[in-house]
Amino acid sequence: MPIDINKIRSEFPILNQKIHGKDYVYLDNGATTQKPIQVIDAVSDFYKNTNSNIHRGVHHLSDLSTKAYEAVRSKVQNFINAEQEQEIIFTKGTTDSINLVAFSFGERYINTGDEIIISAMEHHSNLVPWQMLCERKGANLRVLPFNKNGELEMDKLPGLLNDKTKLLAVTHVSNSLGTINPVKEIIEQAHKANVPVLIDGAQSIQHSIIDVQDLDCDFYVFSGHKIYAETGIGVLYGKEKYLKEMPPYQGGGDMVDHVTLEKTTYLDAPFKFEAGTANYVGAVSLGVAIDYINDIGLKNIAEYEAELLQYATAELEKIEGLTIYGKAKHKTATISFLLDKIHHYDTGMILDKLGIAVRTGSHCTQPIMDFLDITGTVRASFAFYNTKNDVDRLVAGILKVKEMFA
């Protein structure tokens, strides 16, 4: 079923405005996605009619709030096909989810001399928490490299997996290069060596159908704000066998079973990992965003975005002096590039004046930039509300930048 682009664009109010007097072209979806009116209205309605703290009230609205929050847990379970609802933990976002695992899994399973594998194309969120864990525990970080096209060097993986390896954490999709990594193959290889795998799904959840049972990943994490929901809500999926063993990450209300001044016992997962007042309104927004995406269909979204990627790549490649970074065979609709010797900030600032929003810099992936021997790129990242007209505007904008620097 083709995407009804006019209907979709009418549902994202922010897209229908002028920036610097020009029709707005938003190509910074890798950083955050815009919100459909259904999500915006649902949040507003919730505050108007339902808001009340969850889990601890006997009164009517607290009961409704709690039910709304827990219904989203079940919705997320279905969305990523988790086996059990208790395997879905609400967090603040991808970074929070990874820090939770790094601390809690680390406390339970990581000892001096152990090894954790990551790839060289990780977002800082899937790198720094593991460095901190290694420092805390005297463990070692091993790194799977990638090649000039931005593809992981899979032949190097067997040499990294050994008896000391306790976890492998890898991104499903690179936020800077757009590469879709062969995570199923990585998980299979890691499991053969008895190594659990965490998948950073921050850039995959919004672009493709995710089935955590089919992937057989042990942890999968993502952020609500990158999948058309509010900021401040995210998800950690974890296999029950690990969640059962992992100690709480933070202490406080809502995660306890019994508390005395001497000792506290904790609830089971997911609650033992959700200390304090949860972002239940954020969760409600996530539920509405998931409904919205399901209505369009992730298969349709993936097909539409693949067509946009193909068109944008072909058009950008026609521009003399433009270099695309990240030429993997399997990519999402994210294109990083540089133009001649023009600094990425200059390109980004001029495009902004033309009403076109792109991201510039290292995209929280400084090791990728070091590998490529550049300081940063201009990144255009697309969503299903973008159009070929947006691509044409980007191309015209880039030609204008070239002209100004000629």
179 binds ligand PLP (CB under 6 A): no
Quick one: which of 33, 35, 68, 93 contacts ligand PLP (CB under 6 A)? 93
**DSSP sequence for 320-389:** TTEEEE---SSB-SEEEEEETTB-HHHHHHHHHHTTEE-EEE-TT-HHHHHHHT-S-EEEEE--TT--HH
Sequence-distant (6+) residues with CB within 8 A of 154 are 182, 185, 186
- Which residues share a beta bridge with 276? none
Residue 12 DSSP SS3: coil
Q: Using the minimum distance from each CB to ligand PLP, give the nearer residue, 123 or 331.
A: 123
> Are the CB atoms for 128 and 172 separated by under 8 Å?
no
CA distance 227 to 402: 34
- Region of 122-130, 190-198, 266-274, 337-345 interacting with ligand PLP (CB under 6 A): 122-130
- Region of 59-67, 200-208, 245-253, 378-386 interacting with ligand PLP (CB under 6 A): 200-208
In angstroms and rounded to an integer, the radius of gyration of the C-alpha atoms of the chain is 22
123 binds ligand PLP (CB under 6 A): yes
Q: Using the minimum distance from each CB to ligand PLP, give the nearer residue, 39 or 202.
A: 202
Q: Residue 321 CB, nearest distance to ligand PLP (Å)?
A: 28
Q: Using the minimum distance from each CB to ligand PLP, give the nearer residue, 180 or 322.
A: 180
DSSP 248: P
Quick one: which of 33, 34, 65, 94 contacts ligand PLP (CB under 6 A)? 94
- Region of 149-157, 196-204, 235-243, 326-334 interacting with ligand PLP (CB under 6 A): 196-204
Q: Residue 95 CB, nearest distance to ligand PLP (Å)?
A: 3
The tokens for 206 are 């919004």
Quick one: which of 34, 77, 99, 126 contacts ligand PLP (CB under 6 A)? 126
Binding mask 43-82 vs ligand PLP (x if CB under 6 A, - otherwise)? ----------------------------------------
Quick one: which of 29, 65, 125, 386 contacts ligand PLP (CB under 6 A)? 125
- Region of 87-95, 134-142, 145-153, 270-278 interacting with ligand PLP (CB under 6 A): 87-95
> Are the CB atoms for 246 and 97 separated by under 8 Å?
no
CA distance 403 to 181: 37
Half-sphere exposure of 298 (CA within 13 A, CB side): 15
- Catalytic positions are 364
- Nearest CA to 27 out of 396, 379, 263, 309 is that of 379
Q: Residue 174 CB, nearest distance to ligand PLP (Å)?
A: 7
Measuring CA to CA, how many Å separate 78 from each of 75, 218, 372, 404?
A: 5, 17, 39, 51
Tokens 């992730």 appear where? 298
Q: Using the minimum distance from each CB to ligand PLP, give the nearer residue, 333 or 401.
A: 333
223 binds ligand PLP (CB under 6 A): yes
- Region of 77-85, 89-97, 312-320, 397-405 interacting with ligand PLP (CB under 6 A): 89-97
- Region of 74-82, 118-126, 139-147, 314-322 interacting with ligand PLP (CB under 6 A): 118-126
Q: Residue 32 CB, nearest distance to ligand PLP (Å)?
A: 8
Q: Using the minimum distance from each CB to ligand PLP, give the nearer residue, 123 or 393.
A: 123
171 binds ligand PLP (CB under 6 A): yes
> Are the CB atoms for 378 and 339 separated by under 8 Å?
yes
> Are the CB atoms for 275 and 251 separated by under 8 Å?
yes
Q: Residue 50 CB, nearest distance to ligand PLP (Å)?
A: 26
Q: Residue 360 CB, nearest distance to ligand PLP (Å)?
A: 14
Sequence-distant (6+) residues with CB within 8 A of 155 are none
Q: Residue 230 CB, nearest distance to ligand PLP (Å)?
A: 11
| Packing angle of the helix pair 280-296, 37-49 (nearest 10 deg) | 150
Give, rounded to a whole angstrom, the gap between the first and last alpha carbons of the chain: 45
Residues numbered 284-313 forming contacts with ligand PLP, rule: CB under 6 A: none
Q: Residue 104 CB, nearest distance to ligand PLP (Å)?
A: 17
Q: Which residue ranges make up the site for ligand PLP (CB under 6 A)?
A: 93-95, 123, 125-126, 171, 175, 200, 202-203, 223
